[in-house]
Chains A and B, each alone.
Chain A
Amino acid sequence: MSGHHHLSLKVLLGTALALGVLTVLTVSVAMIHIPSPFNIVVAIAIAAVKAYLVVMYFMNLRNDSKFNLLSFGFSILFLLIFVGITMLDTMFRVEVIPGF
């Protein structure tokens, strides 16, 4: 809960190293050309893990107030609702390809 939780040098360096490794991984995975839907899934999954590391360790949300964690969680939830419901429209139109 304490907002003044002290950062650990070891944890910060470890997080940066993990982010570097995951960046190399995402570039290498893109080079071996995984078949179509799965390449996007893998790319998003790696990016999500990287974002999780930044949020939890660099931004230290794991030691922060639960309200901040809840706010962040809800922003992701509402982003998914926003994109999901919009796609329920755009993917199921009679005129599939729009003029724009």
Chain B
Amino acid sequence: MAHSSNSNLAHHFVDSEQQFDASKMGMWIFLVTEILFFGGLFAAYIIYRAWYPELYIMASSQLNTTMGAINTGVLILSSLTMALSIWSAQNNDRKKTTIFLAVTIICAIIFMIIKYFEYTHKFHLGIFPGAYYTFTGIDHVKAPQFFSIYYMMTGLHGIHVIIGVGLMIWLVIKNQKQAFSSSYYTPIEIVGLYWHVVDIIWIFLFPLLYLID
């Protein structure tokens, strides 16, 4: 173990503990920028909802609450399995680390498949963002605006889910090459922090978009 921890230690750090804390701090700073990045979209959502409260109630009826709720459950489960993969790495259980990462990847893919069905159903109805909106079922001039906000928020979140899948596949490959142990699992910890923020964003998107009356 001492050997593997030394081989991962960059020369400018005092010890692997300091290196681990520095990596985590860097990730938290990045996550702060992520929160403010999504914050711009949340601000747009809040301002338009304050201007047109009736629009949100009318347009939200086009969103499938059941699919949104299932996706919320899927992401919570994936957050649990992500944390469990870190727990497995801390306990030097390489096999379980891979299994829990694989379950997390499967959950992420299920999330995107459900999102795909939601999007294609809306496209079929002519519910596109902005100028491409042709749906006539909502009697409100600003209906395209709601769906622009919907697509931007869920789309940016979806891109984050896809990036997360890529990162977790990378972790599985590294783990299978025996790169991680209880003395070095920084990449799993860092991707875990990212994945939990993706979950948190959805925790807010679900009630704000799907659960309006």
A residues adjacent to B (C-beta < 8 A): 2-4, 6-7, 9, 12-13, 15-16, 19-20, 23, 26-27, 30, 33, 36, 39, 43-44, 46-47, 50-51, 54-55, 58-59, 64-65, 67-68, 71-72, 74-76, 78-79, 82-83, 86-87, 90-91, 96-98, 100
Contact = CB atoms under 8 A, between A and B. Distances in A.
A67 B199 CA distance: 23
Given A7-B90, A83-B39, A16 B76 contact: yes
A19 B196 CA distance: 13
A57 to B, nearest CB: 8
B29 A71 contact: yes
Interface of B: 17, 20-21, 24-25, 28-29, 31-32, 35-36, 39-40, 42-43, 46-47, 50-51, 53, 65, 69, 72-73, 76-77, 79-80, 82-84, 86-87, 90, 145, 192-193, 196, 199-200, 203-204, 206-208, 211-213
Nearest to A64: B24
A59 B51 CA distance: 36
Given A23-B73, A27-B65, A67 B87 contact: no
Chain B at the A interface: SS class: helix
